[in-house]
Structure 1
Amino acid sequence: MSVKIESNSYLTEEQQQVYQLRESLERNGGNPVGFLGLLAAVLRGDTWRKIPSGVNDEKPFASFSDFITAKPPFGLGSEVEHVRVLLQLRHPHEGVAHVREEMDTMRAQVRKLLGPAADEDPIAQDAQKFGVHARSGGWVFGLMVARSVQPGQGHGGDRSSLDYQRSERTDGNSGFNKVSAKRFAAMSGTSSTRVMRFYRAWERAVSAGVVPDFDDLVPGQDIELPKTELWGEYFTRYEQSTDRRESIAEQAEAAGTSYTEAMKVAGNPAALRTAILGDPRTAEAARKALADRLEDDAALQIAMARTVAAVPELKKAVASEARRTEQLDYIRRVAGEGKLKTPAGQLIDAPPAIQAEAQRHLAAIESSQEPSPGESAAEAYEAVQDLVAEAIEKNPEVHVAEQRARVHKVLASTARRIASVSDAPLAEIVDEELIREVTALQESVNALIALLPPQTGKRLKVVDSKAL
């Protein structure tokens, strides 16, 4: 029989206190009476800062975490999470006010020294997730889908459906059945298309013998994942073709059409082109589909714009349709808002007769069944413009304001154009033709000044063009 004798006579007073704390932690399992009381004393006296951090090292511990994990006789030789668990134990005498206050103070101090636990610290959680993803890349997401999703399971039901009930498995790995891709997508805030992309990538990896089969995985199960760089072999390489199939499947489901038939059409572009060229109904369906896709497809927008710009007939048709749209907008504004814009740019109230006429023309256009209603829009616009011109002529005040607005508009435009060449090096580029043009312009300005009333003309200087 052998007897182990431990001596701590060489320890300092502070080390002796740490020794007792460690003994409480190891030999009695952290009994609340001993451990919590001794830990409070160590913190109250700042003991852990007053002892060396190791052999031949007089420096104190850099952190309380280091003190907990350091080997005896310097530290507690324990784990931080173990101490966190013990902090949750209740001291038997916490019913006494001063003990409860001491325990509360101690717990608050320890939590402050250790910082938040990993499951409470959002930065720690992000760091852990980042580390996992950095080590395993897309395999992490592939595993999440592979162990949780079974396409078609439960038909996308809710939490009360069979796809969310506890399973009958007895291997201890999981207590839940897998869910459908649609249900998993709803739970994760993404699309079933994206979920299935990861599912199929894992499926390809299964075929290559790189990862376990779906049937060998259960929700929540962790496995050793392949190297990060291998993920691209089963995901990126197939992404374009896979995304194409899944996008067609998604559109087929939304439209209630056959995915198989849609894939047949998509797989034979030449036949699709022939049908569009030979059948007006197919061409119209294609036009509507392209119009719907244009909104979200920037590349298609550019391609269509280039196509229009390269075909003179299309450019002419676009310009014609733009004019028609402007004319209809003008008629709708007059008919609906009772406002009209004069040729000089004034926005005035439309007389009731003109508004009524615009309403009549608009009703005729919208009810027209003509294949090309463009002429009707142009005729309606011209008719309303004639009525506007007539109304302006009959109202002296409006007529004067319209003439004034027109002249101001022309003069302002002319002034801007002259200002745009004022910084040109005229002295260097002047020639006989330029002199004639500037002289003619000055004479035109003088002629306008001469038309002004005498009292106004006194304030303006007429320049002799011969002096130029």
Structure 2
Amino acid sequence: MSVRVESNSYLTEEQQQVYQLRESLERNGGNPVGFLELLAAVVTDGTWLKVPSGVNQEEPFVSFTDFIEAKPPFGLGASVENVRILLQIRHPHEGVPRIREQMDMMRAAVRELIGSDPSELNARRFEQEALWGDPSHDPDITDSAEEPDLDPSNPIDRDAAELRSVGKSGGWIWALKVARNVEVGQPDRPAQDVDMGCAPHIHKVAAREFARRIGWDHKRVMRYYRAWERGIEKYDLPSFDRLQPGVEVPLPPASTWTECFTPGRVSPDRAEALIAGAHEAGLSVREVIYAAKSPGAMKAAILSDESTAEAARTALLERAREDGELRTTLARTIAHDPVFRKETAVESRKAERADYVRQIADQGKARTPAGQALELSKEAREETAELVAVVDDPQATPEVVAEAYERVQQLIVEAVEADPKVQAAEHRARIHKVLASTARNIASVIDTPLAEIADEKLIEEVSALQTSVEALVALLSPQKGSHLRVIDSQAV
């Protein structure tokens, strides 16, 4: 098999064949047919053994694995794992014995060359679905509204028409193929008893049999079946009993597909929430659902990548503001973790001090330690405004914020000391507070039977207290109207 490309006419026939195989692998992501056919030709003709293995190398490749992994233009520049995945894709014309035989021979030859690894195939099922995904899921695709004149007898036009319809109706075409050929609950029958022709009398087949024929997992077939089921309810699609093999029906636009289709490992309830979230964020539904399907990969990305971790942090906080249960869980986690608890205390103190500086700057006044309302001078207000810029700096450390906080407090002290009347009122308020506290403390023990429990030390303390009160009385004696009564120590 050889197709000459004008822009690559300098290549040998074998190199052109490899070139086309690589182009098919890179560009035909929505249709594996071309890749499978070219791969069969490369293996059957032994083309990979006839091309140089590298720059200034005349020797051919020693192994098919080296050929797959070698960088272009010598090899495919792919991975063995992806080739294993591609071998699981079924050629749509494998119903034709000649093509099926060709594909089976190719798969057997390639597997023998590279070895098969079923466990890895299961682990990479996610990549298989993403690699051969519905083209309508690509957010970068802009469909043309022009209706070209296509010739059904031309195989290129037939493929173009099919891909064009997929682009317009998305996964609904796949769902229709499942819905019109599968009957849920029908027992599996041997392949020779089931005819997949499109005559009206042909019976549908079981989901497992249809899955076998297209090379899919049974669960994947059922996901498309359930999508059609939801389409019946949402978009009035024909019911299953009205569909027969080969029947064509009008389909909804591609944009409606994600509202009905639920990828594997995501329940319908979760899918609806994820779809709504994707629409709200303006993101691809496919990307959002696939991210939710792999929490392990998501965790690894968060742990290893700073930008992913930042996105996760932002999302978690946004959700916690609306989710009381999540908020409680986060708070409990922080409270019980000594590292988080210490950091939280530091950041809380920093936030409180920053808020204090902003409040003083906004109001232009402050309360003194004794509780007086105090107007700040113009100079003090200007300096406080400058300190706001300091505490609002995202890079500000707790120590820097503490210095700004202490400076604002110092400005308040300086404002008090600059005004004798304010200073006197501050002292008076402070003394009132101390005396009130002392009076409350004495009142709390006045009813105690002191005479019965007093010892020498207690008598000395009460006597010392009386001496202090007498000294205060002496200081206040010049004040008119003072009627202070000295406590008789003997009475105590």
- Give TM-score, length-normalised by structure 1: 0.43
- TM-score w.r.t. the length of structure 2 is 0.41
